Amino acid sequence: MSIKKHPAIALSAEKLVAHRGYRAKYPENTALSITQAIKAGALFVELDVQFSQDKLPIIYHDTNLSRVSGSDKDVFNCARDELLRYPAYELERLGSCFIDEKISPLEHLVTILEDNPEVKAFVELKDESIEHCGREVILASVQEILRPVVDRAVIMSFDYSLALGARQNGWPLVGLVLRSWDDLYSDEVKAVKPDFIYTDHHIIPPECDLTSIESLANTTLVAYEVGSRELGYALLARGVDMLETFEIEELLATI
């Protein structure tokens, strides 16, 4: 894709999602990262959810604790009370600056959203935990916790059946993450009627007219991972609706 500036389209906060919070400067998927993204101006944040051995949700991307927490344990082998005592500081990427930051339960997101009523969150439920717990357990737990912020929490997943389950349960904001571009034309994706569709920008066909795709007509298309304003302008010009980025402050600085 040819990348050039498109100054007529502003990279405003309404167009940007803070991917795992403000990951460029803070440990991903932590309360600190999420709140710092909001302080930087984010109106939309994204985070990942895994489940513990006792089938309770934590804000975390990996199933193994080594990369973020420095321990060679799996989340599925630890009770949540134990997991919440582990740091979430990303030693290799960020050093020991944030070693006092801990793994957060999903309930912390509710508190953050209640303190910031202008903010919405994309809550991605990870495939590994779906396999570990089952879709019904995952949805029941997450929906109960997020109920106080039901109108500002998007439940989403790569698992289309889980997204459909959230829709059938009456959850008002549902998203899915495309496994492949061709899935846009599948009955499975169409059945979800997603409010948001996430896609890796690399899999969007170069010559594709996004306005011609039926599955995109009544949804918001979010592209990830967007690390520069030039790429952001190019994607918006093609018809992408929103951009997910680790670099929330840098992209907001273009306003």
Is residue 83 assigned to a domain?
no
Is residue 8 assigned to a domain?
no
Write down the pLDDT at residue 243: 99
Which residue range is the domain that position 23 belongs to? 13-63+106-252
Q: What is the DSSP string of 177-245?
A: E-SSGGGGGSHHHHHH--SEEEEEGGGS-TT--GGG-GGGTTSEEEEE---SHHHHHHHHHHT--EEEE
Is residue 141 assigned to a domain?
yes
Considering its fold, how many domains does the chain have in total? 1
Write down the pLDDT at residue 10: 61
Is residue 213 assigned to a domain?
yes
Look up the pTM and report it: 0.95
Measured between alpha carbons, how far is residue 128 from residues 76, 162, 191, 199 in Å?
9, 13, 23, 19
- Nearest one of 18, 21, 28, 34 to 94, comparing CA atoms: 28
Write down the pLDDT at residue 26: 99
Q: How far apart are CA 114 and CA 79, in angstroms?
A: 27
Can you give the CATH number for the domain in which 182 is found?
A: 3.20.20.190
Is residue 189 assigned to a domain?
yes
Q: What are 7-27's pLDDT values in tens digits? A: 445 689 999 999 999 999 999
Q: How far apart are CA 161 and CA 167, in angstroms?
A: 10
Is residue 164 assigned to a domain?
yes
Q: How far apart are CA 119 and CA 103, in angstroms?
A: 21
Q: Which residues of 174-205 are buried (b: 16+ CB within 10 A; e: fewer)?
A: bbbbbbeeebbeeeebeebebbbbbbebeebe
Is residue 73 assigned to a domain?
no
Is residue 120 assigned to a domain?
yes
Residues near 168 by Cβ (< 8 Å), separated by ≥ 6?
none
Write down the pLDDT at residue 254: 60
The percent of residues in the chain predicted with pLDDT above 70, rounded, is: 95
The list of the chain residues with pLDDT below 50 reads 1-8
Write down the pLDDT at residue 171: 99
Please state the length of the chain: 255
